[in-house]
Amino acid sequence: MSLLKLQVAGAAVLKKKAAPVPEITPAIRALADDMAETLNVAHGLALAAPQVGEPVRLVVVDRGYLEWEALSEEERKKVRCDYRPEPLVNPEILKREGGEEELEEGCLSVPGYRAVVRRPRIVTYRWQNLDGKMHEKRAEGLEAVCIQHELDHLDGVLFIDRISRLKRNLALGKVRKFVEELDPEDDETEYRLYGKS
């Protein structure tokens, strides 16, 4: 597995609609493995292929964290949160329901910035696993937000495209500053994820 460079807001690949994965090849499996490794090192919840420069419809989600987050406060104290990445090939939302709610979002492609975004509360979505088997799930709360956020990436949309222009410009300024100030001696991990190749 390899650590992949994260693309940040302003990168052309993040504005493109990603292409469907026509066949699950060894290259797609390797990309999914590398994305899982990158997500783990970056301490993110999910990662879409365009965020690592690959314009294909592939997402990796940390199911371990989603399941842990869905537990009550009391249950979380008793259970360890394990990293359990799951690749979603050609994911799509079939249905949105339950009204809308606001939740603060962040993004590995918009480092150092968070904002409140309004999204449908419940989604039903489907995807293929790496063996080509179809799955379908109804999700709410953080999982519903996560899926909508990641599928936005596959359509060339960042969460900052869903907030005011003023806040979006503030976010872009923070991203530029973050990248300019990266120093391999201060934070080797961030430099490996975001720094120059």
Domains and CATH numbers, the chain: 12-194 (3.90.45.10)
pLDDT in tens, 79-133: 888 899 999 999 999 999 988 999 999 999 999 899 999 999 999 999 999 999 9
Query: How far is Cα 194 from Cα 109, in angstroms, rounded to an integer?
Result: 9
What is the reported pLDDT for 182? 86
What is the reported pLDDT for 134? 97
Task: Identify residue 52 by its one-letter amino acid code.
Answer: V
What is the reported pLDDT for 196? 66
User: Which of 169, 127, 167, 168 is closest to 146 using CA atoms?
Assistant: 127
Evaluate if residue 151 carries a pLDDT over 70. Answer: yes
> What tokens appear for 136 in the block?
């379908």
User: Sign of the C-alpha dihedral, residues 23, 127, 17, 191?
Assistant: negative
pLDDT in tens, 16-60: 999 999 999 999 999 999 999 999 999 999 999 999 999 999 999
Evaluate if residue 14 carries a pLDDT over 80. Answer: yes
| Active-site residue (options: 54, 105, 143, 150) | 150
> What tokens appear for 195 in the block?
């720094």
Beta-sheet pairing, 46-48 with 85-105: unpaired
Contact 61, 150 (CB under 8 A): yes
Phi-psi region of 141 (alpha: psi -120 to 50; beta: other; left: phi over 0): left
Evaluate if residue 71 carries a pLDDT over 90. Answer: no
What is the reported pLDDT for 155? 98
Put simply, whether the predicted model's pTM sits higher than 0.75 gets the answer yes
What is the reported pLDDT for 162? 95
Is 74 an annotated catalytic residue? no
pLDDT band at 184 (very low <50, low <70, confident <90, very high): confident
What is the reported pLDDT for 98? 84
> Residue-wise over 149-184: b if at least 16 C-beta within 10 A, else e?
bbbbbbebbbbbebbeeeebeebbeebeebbeeeee
Query: How far is Cα 65 from Cα 74, in angstroms, rounded to an integer?
Result: 16
What is the reported pLDDT for 191? 87
Contact 152, 46 (CB under 8 A): no
